[in-house]
Amino acid sequence: MDQQGEIGMCWKEEVLELTKELVRHPSINGTIGERDIAYRIYDYFSELSYFREHPDHLRMVKTHRDERERYNVFALVKGGNASFDETVILMGHMDTVGVEDYGKWKRLAFASDELMERWKKAKIPERVQKDLESGDWACGRGSVDMKSGVAANMVLTRYFAEHPEELRGNVLFLSECDEEDNSQGILSALSDFLHLAEEENLSYIAAINADYTSPRYEGDPHRYVYLGTVGKLLPAFFIVGKETHVGQAFEGFDPNLVAAELTRHLDYNPDFCDEMYGELTLPPVSLKQTDLKPRYDVQTPISALVYYNFFVHSMSPKEVLEKLKEVAMEAVDAAWEKYRARYLRYCQRAGDPLRPQEWKPRVFTYEELYNRCITLYGSDFEESMRVFAMNLLNEEELDLRDYCRKMVEECWSWDEEKSPAVILFYASIYIPRIVLNEKESRDRRLIRAVRSAVQKIQPQCEHPIQVRNFFPYISDMSFVQISDDREGISSLEKNMPAWGTKHRMDVDAIQALDVPAVNIGPYGMDAHKQWERVEIPYSMEIVPSLNYQVIKHLVGS
């Protein structure tokens, strides 16, 4: 066994310096820097003799159907025998979020060492000060999320490029763009993975993602390795009320009342946590709640919108939709009873005659509403919706969530009853869950490789390393395998109005790729925040050592 891989101490300086260099290259999502960092990563590998001898194994591939010029970088290292087909993917994203949160230090957000020196002289949070004084941390935008993970993958790939004789298989490095927005990078890479497998006779047996990890609670001493990942959905409710002048308030129905009831039912409610293997997702939380009046006037709102983050371990998009339709009906009932009871009390106090309202709000899924309109209006409706969807694409700056909402609004405009209603739909991309199963031989092989690596490297780590089943954050590893069945995915497709137009996800390609995935990545604090920082000993010594051991266990000579 090579001493470097066995001990892991020699990874540190190279990974640290490369991390700082990558941080120095701003790669904020949606900016030209996101394109340029791909060139820098490509150049790193192009200087290695392995890739000079095998130039076709290094590729910078422009993302498909992308409004921006962005690239993914692939670097393939084949083992000593060309007949080896088993391949381990090392993956990580190279884009970051913005730097507005850095305030007066914004211009130093990409200068790790200088930023740290400024912080040491400033009044900063005690926890941050303590970390910096230890000398074991590096800071800057992207330091933990996730350029240190990409740097560790680059160094590992470089090592195997210089020692291909250590492999009875192959290592494929991928750095992808656009993880922080709509995952265009990894979705584009799916077809490239499949083409590369055909060209080079590759059989993908595992993917190791290197996204960041962090404490699960205050004072948590553990460092975490994850088998599989949480899934994420964005269920949304388009609520149609009945508008009226505020001087005749009870002649209408305020959609905000239903929105409030939905949030009361769902927000922070542990009843909607999804449990599997003894691990619990976080409960839903509101990400947007608003009426849709464009400006002030004395008319009550016609419609409102609310959507929620919804994590899953075991539930499919179909099951979530069914569960939330029940919630919508409960919220409508509660809002309607409040409305009627308050109207009755008002009439009793004011001495006005009670005029019962007979238009209790209805509840539809988008699929149900769409099919209802097809039944009523046939091909005229379908053609009109198709044209509307395509014309809506001309609004290039339109957010995916708003695109979906406008599609629902247009569909609803065909309904002639015009009575209050709630339409439930999916407003954003689905981040699929990945569940590793000990009963599946390929999954079991990867699980054992990870547990063996942890056992071997644990003595070198001062903190306990814990293996858990679900990476708790959104990441691109979700798109290399999918644990939902066709029925669950079909429900998603039919209830996400942007599917196939504003948003494309090649489910067939994901199912064809079908790679079990784990996350072994850097450890740090405050990702997406001003005080973002990465712990050096674990992230730059232990992480590459763990991943080295996993690779050796799976495809080592």
Query: What pLDDT sits at residue 387?
Result: 97
2 pLDDT band, cuts 50/70/90, is: very low
Predicted confidence (pLDDT) at residue 81 exceeds the cutoff of 90: no
Query: What pLDDT sits at residue 356?
Result: 79
Average pLDDT over residues 511-516: 95
Average pLDDT over residues 542-553: 97
CATH fold for the domain made of 3-230+431-480+515-555:
Aminopeptidase (3.40.630)
Predicted confidence (pLDDT) at residue 65 exceeds the cutoff of 90: no
Burial of 396 (0-12, 13-18, 19+ CB in 10 A): exposed
Average pLDDT over residues 331-357: 93
Structure token digits, residue 305: 């919108």
Which of the two residues, 396 and 431, has the higher pLDDT score? 431
Q: What percent of the chain has pLDDT over 70?
A: 98
Q: 274: alpha, beta or left, given left = phi > 0 and alpha = psi -120 to 50?
A: beta
CATH no., domain 235-426: 3.30.70.360
9 pLDDT band, cuts 50/70/90, is: very low
Helix axes 317-350, 255-266, angle to 10 degrees: 130
Domain locations in the chain as residue ranges: 3-230+431-480+515-555, 235-426
181 pLDDT band, cuts 50/70/90, is: confident
Contact present, 213 and 152 (Cβ < 8 Å): no
213 pLDDT band, cuts 50/70/90, is: very high
Q: Tens digit of pLDDT for each residue in 264-322?
A: 999 999 999 999 999 999 999 999 999 999 999 998 999 999 999 999 999 999 999 99
Query: What pLDDT sits at residue 113?
Result: 95
Span of 321-330, 450-459, 499-508 with lowest mean pLDDT = 499-508
Instruction: Name the helix (H) or strand (E) containing 232.
Output: strand 231-233
Q: Do domains 3-230+431-480+515-555 and 235-426 have the same CATH topology?
A: no
What single-letter DSSP state applies at residue 20?
A: H
Predicted confidence (pLDDT) at residue 383 exceeds the cutoff of 50: yes
Q: In the sheet that 137-139 helps form, which strands lie side by side, from edge to edge?
A: 137-139, 533-535, 524-525
Which of the two residues, 3 and 164, has the higher pLDDT score? 164
Residue with tokens 């679900």: 470
Average pLDDT over residues 30-50: 97
Query: What pLDDT sits at residue 418?
Result: 80
Average pLDDT over residues 525-541: 96
Query: What pLDDT sits at residue 417?
Result: 83
Query: What pLDDT sits at residue 4?
Result: 43
Query: What pLDDT sits at residue 193?
Result: 97
Predicted confidence (pLDDT) at residue 8 exceeds the cutoff of 50: no
Looking at the whole model, is its pTM more than 0.75? yes
Instruction: Name the helix (H) or strand (E) containing 444.
Output: helix 441-457
Note the Cα 57 to chain centre separation in Å: 28
Average pLDDT over residues 80-98: 93
500 pLDDT band, cuts 50/70/90, is: very high
As a three-state string, the secondary structure of 454-502 is HHHHHHHCCCCEEEECCECCCCHHHHCCCCCCHHHHHHHHHHCCCECCC
CA distances from residue 90 to 75, 205, 214, 491, 539 in whole angstroms, order as listed: 10, 12, 20, 32, 15
Span of 39-53, 408-422, 441-455, 459-473 with lowest mean pLDDT = 408-422
Q: Tens digit of pLDDT for each residue in 90-140?
A: 999 999 999 999 999 999 999 999 999 999 999 999 999 999 999 999 999
Predicted confidence (pLDDT) at residue 365 exceeds the cutoff of 70: yes
DSSP 293-337: -SS--SBPPSEEEEEEEEEESS--HHHHHHHHHHHHHHHHHHHHH
Measured CA angle at 263 (ends 258, 267), to 5 deg: 165
Q: 85: alpha, beta or left, given left = phi > 0 and alpha = psi -120 to 50?
A: alpha
For all residues of the chain together, what is the average pLDDT?
Answer: 94
6 pLDDT band, cuts 50/70/90, is: very low
Torsion, Cα 404 406 409 413, to 10 degrees, reads -130
